[in-house]
Amino acid sequence: MRAAKVSAFASLAICHLDERENAVRAIEKWLMCGMLLGMHDGASPAPLQRQLKLNVSVDATQAWKNELQWSKASSQQRYELTTQLHSDGRLYAQNLLDPDLDKRSRIKSEFYTYQGLLELKRENGGRLPSGNALMPEISAESLKAGGSCLPGVDCPSASPQRFSAIAALQDNTPAQIEQFMKSFEAPGGKWLYFTGFAGCRNQLRLNYTAHFAGEQAFDHARKKLQPFEMDWVANTEGSAEEKASLCRRYTITLDTGSGTMYVENAYLPSPRGTSTRKTGRGLDRRESDLPPPYELMRWVGDTLSKNRPSGSQEAVLKLTQPLDGNSTVLGLFDGTAKVRLSWSFAEPAQR
């Protein structure tokens, strides 16, 4: 008990905000102190929600050359997204998004088995069922995965976590399973896991303009050049399907000791807009998904993969992949993109 009190007083000291600290550091400290104080109140871990905000701007130019063919392109893009993630509030011993990919794969596999076992335990009045009792379910799922379900036969779909948990029950003794679960529930961890969830509150605002102009040949010898212009335009707040997809896109872990945030597979949507192409043959206008530059996606992912919970960063990226995403024309692509990213991962504002 005395140790718990000392830890609580230490947390209060950490949470003291110095008015001289900058805003970014204050936000990070506020985020961490809220978690630390909650750990020492003697209660079970309480579920947490956090809101991820990303703001990305792009100003890009690019030239293309393939023998006699050529083009010049310019593009301005802005991506604003806000999405919510939740955590069970438990402090785990290992980082679900460990930078070592082999280790990450093992930790994920074990964690999802644990989640499936919790699900089975809740359904069974707080006790784990026997693996044999669930054999029909896993057999039906195996049939479904193999495309062997017969019409009219009940062949339910289990989550990967549930499937893994049922397999674990069949391959291990009850004592081994209980010991495995206790390893996740032991005190002393420091990692919070945040995942997306269906029906989350989120927002999208996407603006995209691009202009391409040059000369391209469509004959077999690529000698008969034809001038062309193409314009891309999008200004959207996202469709219902895009917002539903965004809810499950992000997984984030937080080191409560250092305050470091890890993000997996940073995602920016391709806004739905219009593509208008003008050639000597006429005007072609159609709806299209307008892709973010490949180099931008890689840079955003690298920047967020391990960083503070809030901040901003700027860079000038070299563009060697086609801005319009069409690499079939071959040739040399040379351009730059001035990019800026700001982000925050904090408790949602109260409405």
When comparing pLDDT for 5 and 110, which is higher?
110
Strand partners, 69: 66
Q: What tokens appear for 37 in the block?
A: 């104080």
Task: Specify the length of the chain in residues.
Answer: 351
Residue type (1 letter), 326: N
Q: How far is CA 152 from the centre of its chain?
A: 37
Q: From CA 208, how far away is CA 232, in angstroms rounded? A: 7
Q: In the predicted model, what is the mean pLDDT of residues 90-118?
A: 94
Nearest C-alpha neighbor of 214 from the set 304, 323, 312: 323
Q: From CA 252, how far away is CA 256, in angstroms rounded? A: 13
Spatial contact of 29 and 264, defined as CB atoms under 8 Å apart: no
Instruction: Give tens-digit pLDDT for 270-321.
Output: 999 999 999 988 999 999 999 999 999 999 999 999 999 999 999 999 999 9
On the question of pLDDT at 41 being above 50, the answer is no
Spatial contact of 347 and 31, defined as CB atoms under 8 Å apart: yes
For the chain, first and last CA: distance in Å? 38
- Percentage of the chain lying above the pLDDT 90 cut: 62
Instruction: Give tens-digit pLDDT for 214-270.
Output: 999 877 777 789 999 999 999 999 999 999 999 999 999 999 999 999 999 899 999
Q: In the predicted model, what is the mean pLDDT of residues 92-105?
A: 96
**How many beta carbons lie within 10 A of that of residue 229, not counting itself?**
14
Q: From CA 334, how far away is CA 73, in angstroms rounded? A: 10
Q: What sections of 157-282 are H helices per DSSP?
A: 160-171, 174-185, 240-246
Confidence of residue 33 (pLDDT cuts 50, 70, 90): very low
Q: What tokens appear for 233 in the block?
A: 């335009």
Instruction: Give tens-digit pLDDT for 142-179.
Output: 545 544 344 444 444 457 788 888 888 888 888 899 99
Q: From CA 2, how far away is CA 111, in angstroms rounded? A: 32
Nearest C-alpha neighbor of 176 from the set 134, 133, 117, 106: 117
pLDDT recorded at residue 265: 87
pTM: 0.79
Q: From CA 344, how far away is CA 85, in angstroms rounded? A: 13
Q: What tokens appear for 318 in the block?
A: 């070299």
* CB proximity list for 264: less than 8 A, separation 6 or greater: 97, 250, 251, 252, 305
Question: How far is the CA of 314 from the CAs of 242, 299, 303, 338, in angstroms?
Answer: 27, 10, 10, 8
pLDDT recorded at residue 152: 44
Strand partners, 334: 63
